[in-house]
A and B are shown apart, each in its own frame.
Chain A
């Protein structure tokens, strides 16, 4: 977010260069990188920005693990979408990915809990104690859900938008937000527990960051290219609407979450109306202010 913000203020030229390129292909996972893979661990460290963990597979076996670790440790957590670089490898190491993806299978029956983590570890042939290496315990499992659903969005986005025949950015945003909400279907019975854990003070910053990333992802995939203060207001309002819709979804009993969809649409319409009203008021105030200045100037006031 901060980098995008910088891009905004650095001038419209730079911002346009970042934002106005073809949108779809670059965000897809597994995009090959432009640079050759690193040959040694020190080369990995210095050129870390372009390493993905997949590239480490090309190294001789003893160096692979170290390379993979460093690919994660040294890659700066880029918070904007780039057309020139592959997406960063994500916050999870290989060991974490194995543990969490196995544990995620047990979430619908055991919730976001130590049980799910331990059962997942057993499934992968590890021990009950193995999940204790996870830095945040069960919150890591919640973050795994948030992260995987968010990154899946890019791959599924094109189909979803085409299906709904969405044309405007607003329609695409609605289609994508709905797509993301449907990603919660498998775990929706346990999502209130997860929200409770996410609301614990030490996890609030990470949860909010994940929400901001999701709003950014949705607007980017919808093709929003605003380079003015509305960049912020759009993301803030979408974050609020998405969080509200998710909360609504946890108690929604309607088939295929029809009520949630209606709720989402109403909120987005309201936001659009509020935005329109605000713009109209601004326009009116601006017009009258300049008119008043001109009247005063005609009376000889030196303004």
Chain B
């Protein structure tokens, strides 16, 4: 029910994009600003010193970026992504299972196992550097955060590990909050839900309850109707510099309006030695036959499944288009290095022939 109202809210954007194609073409500057590797003068922009962010890494709501195969402004993308995820929040997990034949669980389990959160060598006395703090960005429904907590608290028997789930979208966070009710109390106590825009983590606020089905709209303190996505003006807290041991983002960074800005923000909040870990769809170009089958599945079957199961074709059309638009493993690895991280080996690990990939980077000691 809530999904329907949310869809209604998101529809004007989608409809205007369809009925008003001229709107897509109004940009005048190069449209690749969120993906610096496409700009012609890439060598000059990457050579600027790492302390001052290059121009493309500063969020600008009016700058053009991708929304699936369309070109929109960064501000508009934020709203439309919010619309997409508000409308799919409730069916999100069921759809993931249908689209990937349940395989996304294997990817997520492998992702968390390879990070081994909460592991600590047996030394006399507690770790002088304090307990681990994990930040799960775009963690919405808690899939990754709950796994991280389980590995840290149960497998590695380290109950001091804290996890902060952050998402720009209140509907997704609310689903996660509801699901967390089935966790053991000790794990619930280690969880925090915050609303934040990953491109600017200096502005966060604790999760406000999202309007229920019976009360479709809510109003903030000033009596204005609240947006589905986080409004920085309502921020009450921040994530300080060098405060996070592990920053994870799973199937989320693709939807960010400005990826370089988010990477730099990750670099800021991580402690020296902290790890940035990203699980994201990627390119399976190395296996042409498999890739052809995979493309066929994603462009024909997934929007259809979305229509049948979640009654929302447009959102899933956006999903497959955004996967197609996301940079390749090597390009994204270079973006991570550009943001100041160091990587090990080739910097990424392909899953299922490259359909998804895990990227990891470490913030070096200054």
Contacts and interface: CB of A to CB of B under 8 A. Distances in A.
9 contacts: A40-B47, A62-B47, A92-B344, A92-B345, A96-B345, A114-B121, A128-B120, A129-B115, A129-B273
Given A132-B275, A132-B277, 4 more contacts: A118-B121, A128-B120, A129-B115, A133-B361
Contacts of B43: 40-42
Interface stretch (B6-14, B139-147, B251-259, B335-343): B335-343
Given A62-B48, A127-B271, A95 B344 contact: yes
B274 interface: yes
Interface of B: 43, 46-50, 114-117, 119-123, 127, 129, 132, 245-246, 271-275, 277, 330, 337-338, 342-347, 349, 360-362, 364-365
Given A114-B119, A129-B132, A93 B272 contact: no
B205 to A, nearest CB: 27
A91 B365 contact: no
B275 A133 contact: yes
Interface in A107-141: 110, 114-115, 118-119, 121-122, 124-130, 132-137, 140
Contact of A118 (B46, B119, B245, B272): B119
B273 A125 contact: yes
A61, A69, A114, A121: most-surrounded residue (chain B CB, <10 A): A69
A83 to B, nearest CB: 29
A132 B121 contact: no
Contacts of B274: 127, 129-130
B365 to A, nearest CB: 6
A125 B43 CA distance: 33
Contacts of B271: 127
Contacts of A66: 46, 337-338
Interface of A is mostly: helix
A47 interface: no
4 nearest A-B pairs in the assembled complex, by CB-CB distance: A126-B273, A135-B345, A95-B342, A127-B273
Interface of A: 40-42, 61-63, 65-66, 69, 73, 91-96, 99, 110, 114-115, 118-119, 121-122, 124-130, 132-137, 140
A125 B343 CA distance: 17
Given A127-B129, A127-B274, A130-B362, A119 B342 contact: no
A130 B275 contact: yes
Contacts of B129: 127
B360 A132 contact: yes
A99 to B, nearest CB: 8
A62 B49 CA distance: 5
Contact of B343 (A42, A93, A122): A93
Given A125-B273, A126-B273, A129-B274, A93 B50 contact: no
Contacts of B127: 128
A61, A110, A118, A127: most-surrounded residue (chain B CB, <10 A): A127
Contacts of A119: 121, 123
A44 to B, nearest CB: 11
Contacts of A122: 121
A121, A122, A128: most-surrounded residue (chain B CB, <10 A): A128
Contacts of A95: 342-344, 362, 364
Contacts of A65: 337, 342
Contacts of A99: 344
A75 to B, nearest CB: 12
A126 B271 CA distance: 9
Given A42-B43, A66-B337, A129 B344 contact: no
Contacts of A134: 344-345
A143 to B, nearest CB: 10
B344 A135 contact: yes
Contacts of A118: 119-121
Nearest to B333: A73
B109 to A, nearest CB: 15
A54 B115 CA distance: 31
A288 to B, nearest CB: 52
B345 A129 contact: no
A128 B123 CA distance: 12
Contacts of B245: 127-129
B365 A114 contact: no
Contacts of B272: 125-126
Nearest to B271: A127
